[in-house]
Amino acid sequence: MPAPFRLYNTLSRRVEDFTPIQPGHIGLYVCGMTVYDLCHAGHARAMVTFDTFVRYLRHRDWSVKFVRNFTDVDDKIIRRAAELGIEPLELAQQQIDYFHEDVRALGLDEPDEEPRVSTSIGGIIAMVERLIERGHAYAADGNVWYDVRSFPNYGALSGQKVDELRNPDVGNGKRVPSDFALWKATKPGEPSWKSPWGNGRPGWHIECSAMASRCLGDSFDIHGGGLDLVFPHHENEIAQSEGASGCGYARWWMHNGLLTMPGGRKMGKSEGNAFSIRDLLQLFPAEAVRLYYLQNHYRSPLPWDQNALPTALAMVCRLYEAREVAESMKGQERAEDVAKSLGDDAQAVLDLSRAFDTQFYAALDDDFNTSKALSYVFELARAVNRFANHKKARKRGGPLVAEALRCFSVVNDALGLLGDDVSKFMQEVKEKRLGAMGIEREDIESLLEERLVARQARDWARADSIRDELEAKNIVVMDTAAGVDWRVRITGA
RNA sequence: GGCGACGUACCCAAGUGGUUAAGGGGCGGGUUUGCAAAACCUGUAUUCACCGGUUCAAAUCCGGUCGUCGCCUCCA
């Protein structure tokens, strides 16, 4: 049986108990990218948010059908393709390939379906025809417009009132400014398809209505996307889909907050302040990016600044290091016996581990509160580290921290964090950070070698001066019982 | 002009009626160490933008003020 949960619904502006249309099953449609340029950190927040949400639902035994579209027919694609001197659909395909590489590198699972506008034209035309039949749309000069006043519920999602809108656009047969295009008559040099109204292409909003109903049916459970899509995109989708089918569209509307830049403005290509996810993944491991998004509640705005990713990376490293310590512990006793004989800090690991699932799930079941859920992970990591300071922990603590390791694997299964092999992750951190600072690994290793010789000769002055030299390169040297280790100090991006 | 969101420490941030206001980053002190680093301990908000109100009780509810942001044109 899937676990019940609560979820904020933009329609009601409240957190509500989630109830599926079909028991145990969730149909989810998320607005994906318009593929005219690389995926940036703002888009990636939406991708990670919904990927993680799906991941969690499946972890909790829901059967989920996850659909995320590509908008591959669009003004900006046409304009950009013209600049590059290639076909719009060729540009779109290229960007879709890049997108797939990027989300794979980010560690996202593939959606169950990824419909595209260009291969959904038949369904779109059928839906437009149906809207005309049902009196919600009118054709004029090869264009088809949605008659907003024919749909009394218009504005239910966004709170907008038709008469209060600023949009002054009229023309091409449009009757009132707030009506919007379902079908646009073709212009020279644009991709176009045959239709009952002449050659043309779909308007922006109709694609999602058509693709969602094809993949998930006229009514489905959850529709997601960025907060900036609430109006007009999602409002228009509701008008189209419900106008065409006569029944309810998405039952829940789930919107993620936007990235905000230091000045307070949102990140966006039109703002000229976007960081591509491709560039970021050169500098930081995917899990640091993931944690950066998940450390805040998905509906809150998320501030972006120079320290955002370095801070997130420091957090992920902290968790991996706790896992590393736990994995290094040995022993064959029963966990309870170890706890009993090794004292309060040992007992605390056991207690926290056993209380973990309940707290962790409670947070995520309450409107997907990843921020709160992660706080329990950090508490557990601290308890493990505290226990690890005990002399006997390494030899006898194994069975005890096995419980904590089980919790970390829950975190991976539910949120996609901490799943990597520890040493592999640490290597990735070193490589990416060294690359970011332009330091060669061999230089570090030869200095460390030199220092080792000095230390063996108890030449502390020489050893320390080498350490200072490394320090100046942001390399932190750690002398441990097991030998010399080193880390890259995490500095601003 | 219309619609909506938000304002919690140096920074990020959870908390939405009732124990000492989670967690992370940073910074200060300590344990440890050849010295360091890491880890751990400890200090960093008697207070939640401001002003009123409701209540036995509010960061949490209501009203107002100020400030910030998003949408209304393409936007995750």
Please provide the CATH number assigned to the domain covering A6-277.
3.40.50.620
Which residue is closest to B68 in terms of CA–C1' distance? A264
Residues A312 and A293: their CA atoms lie apart, in Å, by 9
In whole angstroms, B33 C1' to A415 CA is 38
The ipTM is: 0.95
Both structure tokens of A125: 């035309």
In whole angstroms, B60 C1' to A198 CA is 58
Which residue is closest to B32 in terms of CA–C1' distance? A389
pLDDT the model gives residue A163: 75
Question: Which nucleotide's C1' is closest to A34 (Cα)?
Answer: B75
Decide: A93 and A31 in contact? Cβ < 8 Å: no
In whole angstroms, B39 C1' to A350 CA is 19
Decide: A154 and A205 in contact? Cβ < 8 Å: no
Residues A404 and A9: their CA atoms lie apart, in Å, by 34
DSSP codes, A173-235: T-SSTT-EEEEEE--TTS--B--TTSSEEE-TTHHHHHHHHHHH-SSEEEEEEEGGGIIIIIH
DSSP 8-state code for residue A266: B
Residues A60 and A54: their CA atoms lie apart, in Å, by 10
Both structure tokens of A408: 């970390």
Question: Which nucleotide's C1' is closest to A255 (Cα)?
Answer: B76
pLDDT the model gives residue A263: 64
In whole angstroms, B16 C1' to A31 CA is 30
Q: What is the pLDDT along chain A (493 residues), one digit of tens a residue?
A: 899 999 999 999 889 999 999 999 999 999 999 999 999 999 999 999 999 999 999 999 999 999 999 999 999 999 999 999 999 999 999 999 999 999 999 999 999 999 999 999 999 999 999 999 999 999 998 999 999 999 999 999 998 887 766 665 677 788 888 899 999 999 988 999 999 999 999 999 999 999 999 999 999 999 999 999 999 999 999 999 999 999 999 999 999 999 987 766 677 766 667 789 999 999 999 999 999 999 999 999 998 988 899 999 999 999 999 999 999 999 999 999 999 999 999 999 999 999 999 999 999 999 999 999 999 999 999 999 999 999 899 999 999 999 999 999 999 999 999 999 999 999 999 999 999 999 999 999 999 999 999 999 999 999 999 999 999 899 999 998 888 999 999 876 5
Question: Which nucleotide's C1' is closest to A302 (Cα)?
Answer: B12
Decide: A222 and A251 in contact? Cβ < 8 Å: yes
pLDDT the model gives residue A261: 78
Question: Which nucleotide's C1' is closest to A476 (Cα)?
Answer: B37
Taken in order A323, A325, A330, A331, the sign of the CA dihedral is negative
pLDDT the model gives residue A264: 61
- Decide: helix, strand or coil at residue A284: coil
Which residue is closest to B33 in terms of CA–C1' distance? A479
pLDDT the model gives residue A253: 96
In whole angstroms, B46 C1' to A315 CA is 30
In whole angstroms, B55 C1' to A101 CA is 57
Which residue is closest to B23 in terms of CA–C1' distance? A375
pLDDT the model gives residue A64: 98
In whole angstroms, B19 C1' to A344 CA is 23
Question: Which nucleotide's C1' is closest to A180 (Cα)?
Answer: B73
Decide: A186 and A6 in contact? Cβ < 8 Å: no
pLDDT the model gives residue A360: 97
What does DSSP say about strands A200-202 and A63-71: parallel, antiparallel, or unpaired?
Answer: unpaired
Phi, psi of A91 (to 5 degrees): -60, -45
Both structure tokens of A276: 């591509």
Decide: A243 and A128 in contact? Cβ < 8 Å: no
In whole angstroms, B45 C1' to A279 CA is 38
Which residue is closest to B24 in terms of CA–C1' distance? A315
Q: Which nucleotides of B are covered by protein (CB under 7 A)?
A: 1-6, 11-15, 22-26, 33-41, 68-76
Question: Which nucleotide's C1' is closest to A166 (Cα)?
Answer: B72
Residues A428 and A225: their CA atoms lie apart, in Å, by 31
What does DSSP say about strands A180-185 and A483-488: parallel, antiparallel, or unpaired?
Answer: unpaired
Question: Which nucleotide's C1' is closest to A164 (Cα)?
Answer: B2
Question: Which nucleotide's C1' is closest to A454 (Cα)?
Answer: B34
List the domain boundaries for chain A. Answer: 6-277, 306-420, 425-488
In whole angstroms, B4 C1' to A171 CA is 29
pLDDT the model gives residue A172: 78
Question: Which nucleotide's C1' is closest to A230 (Cα)?
Answer: B71
pLDDT the model gives residue A168: 58
In whole angstroms, B25 C1' to A417 CA is 19
Which residue is closest to B73 in terms of CA–C1' distance? A167
pLDDT the model gives residue A162: 77
In whole angstroms, B61 C1' to A370 CA is 26
In whole angstroms, B15 C1' to A48 CA is 24
